[in-house]
Structures are given as structure tokens and as C-alpha cells.
């Protein structure tokens, strides 16, 4: 079996970005990659050639950029390490959620497979990052965005798509974090502003942020059967 390839930090960043973008309606393009990684389109072009030589992606004239099976595997490994690093930062080191993503982007390249296993074990094998993204990026997604959620239904926030510090700070102030119980009360027809009930508090939410918050229907609380025998004879 060939020994595992040591990939440079920037190769890992590219694989991660391609994986992320391929799940968006926008798709993977030189422009989208340049924007996401804050580099020039020319350097993206150079890196795409290199990734293709390494057998990690396929593309045609810098279009139809897709991860190969090997690229896919490497991308998932980086994403898992990133999300696990975020858990370590917030749960153990007390780093504020708004700073976790950027810190983890540095840490994710430094964690060896042995250390990764150790961290996962110490944290009790978590399934999601503190923003609610599954550690296994291939896990099935049965959620909907707040922008498309039905009105007046009990919902639970499962995932925050946008992990940028400004957005997370904004959502932290509004208590709109994974696990929060919410309800969509109305949607403004003109600008798409969502009127929300968050843990009993009514507040408006802009359409862009609403679209980046994933929710699922809340499970009804299970009713405990009354224990009649205990009620008898004790009055
Ligand atoms: Zn992150
Ligand atoms: Zn995260």
C-alpha cells in the first residue's frame, strides 16, 4: 500500500474549499475559489494544475472542477480535523464560538492522525462541530433553512452555515445557536425578513442570515405516563 501523502497546508485548504463549494448552488469555479481563499485567480490556476498532477482533482480548462476519489478522501479528513479542532477549542479551552473557526483553520493542519484520535476520544467522540456541522462531511442532511421553514412550527436550530466571526457574534447575541428552540412567525413579502420567536423572544432576522441557519422540526416532548399507584394512599 502506498504511504499516505503528506499534503501542504495550502493543498489542504484548496481541497476543503472545493469540497465546500461543490455543495453550493454556485459550484466550484476559479472565481469562487479565489474569493473563498482570498487569493488571485492566477494563483488558483497554478494550484489547480498542481492538484490535478497530484491526482486530487479533475477539470477541463479550469471549469468542471471536481475532486477525485482520493481528493474527496483527503478533503473529508481535513474537514473532520477542522471540526474536531473547533470542539477542542470551545469545549476544553473556552475559546469563544466566534473565534473558533479561524483558530481551527490553523490548527487543522497541525493535528496528526494519532493526536486526532486522542482528541476525539477525550471529547467523547463528538458527532458535530460547535456550529452543528457533522464531523463526517458525508453524513445525510435532513434539515431545512430558516428561510424556507414552515410558519408557526416548533423548530430546533441544528447548524450555522456561515461561521464567520461577525455572523457568529451576531447570532450568539441573539441566542440563535445550535439547540435553540425557534418558531418562524411571519415572513415579510417584500424583503424576505423573517420574524422569529427565539426561546420566547420575538426578533426580526435578515433574509441572508436566515438562509444560512439550518433547522429541523422539534420532537414533541414525550409524555410520561402518570404513575397512578404512587398517587394512591399518599394523600
Ligand atoms: Zn469552521
Ligand atoms: Zn464549525
Q: Does 144-217 match 78-138 at the fold level?
A: no
**Residue 3's pLDDT is what?**
37
Angstrom distance (rounded) from CA 51 to CA 3:
18
Confidence of residue 220 (pLDDT cuts 50, 70, 90): confident
Confidence of residue 227 (pLDDT cuts 50, 70, 90): low
204, β-bridge pairs:
195
User: Please, what CATH class does the domain formed by 144-217 belong to?
Assistant: mainly beta
Rounded to the nearest 5 percent, the helix, strand and coil shares of the chain are 40, 15, 40
- The CA distances from residue 151 to 50, 146, 187, 196, in Å, are 48, 10, 8, 10
**Residue 226's pLDDT is what?**
54
User: Please, what CATH class does the domain formed by 9-67 belong to?
Assistant: mainly alpha
Average pLDDT (191-205) is 92
Domain boundaries, the chain: 9-67, 78-138, 144-217
d(CA 101, ligand 1 centre) in Å? 4
**Residue 235's pLDDT is what?**
38
d(CA 231, ligand 2 centre) in Å? 48
Question: What's the pLDDT tens digit per position in 68-126?
Answer: 999 999 999 999 999 999 999 999 999 999 999 999 999 999 999 999 999 999 999 99
Cell numbers describing residue 188: 415579510
- Which residues are found with C-beta within 5 Å of the ion, ligand 2? 86, 129, 131, 133
Q: Which of 60-64, 107-111, 143-147 has the lowest mean pLDDT?
A: 60-64
Cell numbers describing residue 156: 430546533
Question: What's the pLDDT tens digit per position in 20-40?
Answer: 999 888 899 999 999 999 999
Angstrom distance (rounded) from CA 195 to CA 178:
18
**Residue 234's pLDDT is what?**
42
d(CA 73, ligand 2 centre) in Å? 19
User: Please, what CATH class does the domain formed by 78-138 belong to?
Assistant: mainly alpha
d(CA 132, ligand 1 centre) in Å? 10
Cell 469562487 identifies what position?
32
Average pLDDT (122-146) is 92
Looking at residue 169, the DSSP 8-state letter turns out to be H
Share the mean pLDDT of the chain. 89
Q: What is the helix (H) or strand (E) element at residue 70, kind and residue range? A: helix 69-87
Is 0.75 surpassed by the pTM of this model? yes
**Residue 183's pLDDT is what?**
96
d(CA 129, ligand 2 centre) in Å? 5
**Residue 159's pLDDT is what?**
95
d(CA 68, ligand 1 centre) in Å? 23
**Residue 219's pLDDT is what?**
83
CA-based nearest residue to 144, from 83, 97, 194, 201: 194
Q: Which ligand lies nearest the alpha carbon of 177?
A: 2
Average pLDDT (187-210) is 92
Confidence of residue 52 (pLDDT cuts 50, 70, 90): very high
Q: Which ligand lies nearest the alpha carbon of 97?
A: 2
Confidence of residue 171 (pLDDT cuts 50, 70, 90): very high
**Residue 1's pLDDT is what?**
36
Please check whether residue 82 is in contact with residue 136, taking contact to mean a CB–CB distance below 8 angstroms. Answer: no
Amino acid at each position: 500500500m502506498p504511504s499516505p501523502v503528506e499534503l501542504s497546508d495550502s493543498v489542504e485548504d484548496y481541497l476543503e474549499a472545493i469540497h465546500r463549494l461543490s455543495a453550493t448552488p454556485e459550484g466550484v469555479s476559479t472565481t469562487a475559489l479565489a474569493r473563498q481563499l482570498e487569493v488571485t485567480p492566477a494563483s488558483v490556476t497554478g494550484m489547480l494544475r498542481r492538484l490535478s498532477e497530484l491526482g486530487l482533482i479533475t477539470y477541463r480548462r479550469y471549469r468542471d472542477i471536481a475532486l477525485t476519489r482520493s481528493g474527496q478522501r483527503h478533503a473529508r479528513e481535513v474537514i473532520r480535523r477542522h471540526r474536531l479542532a473547533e470542539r477542542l477549542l470551545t469545549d476544553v479551552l473556552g475559546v469563544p464560538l466566534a473565534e473558533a473557526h479561524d483558530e481551527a483553520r490553523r490548527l487543522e493542519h497541525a493535528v496528526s492522525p494519532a493526536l486526532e484520535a486522542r482528541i476525539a476520544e477525550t471529547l467523547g467522540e463528538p458527532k458535530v462541530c460547535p456550529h452543528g456541522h457533522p464531523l463526517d462531511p458525508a453524513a445525510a442532511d435532513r434539515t431545512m433553512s430558516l428561510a424556507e421553514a414552515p410558519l408557526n412550527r416548533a423548530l430546533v436550530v441544528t447548524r450555522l452555515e456561515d461561521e464567520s466571526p461577525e455572523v457568529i457574534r451576531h447570532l450568539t447575541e441573539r441566542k440563535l445557536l445550535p439547540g435553540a428552540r425557534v418558531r418562524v412567525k411571519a415572513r415579510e413579502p417584500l424583503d424576505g425578513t423573517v420574524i422569529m420567536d427565539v426561546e420566547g423572544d420575538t426578533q426580526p432576522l435578515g433574509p441572508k442570515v436566515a438562509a444560512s441557519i439550518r433547522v429541523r422540526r422539534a420532537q414533541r416532548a414525550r409524555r410520561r405516563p402518570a404513575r397512578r399507584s404512587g398517587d394512591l394512599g399518599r394523600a
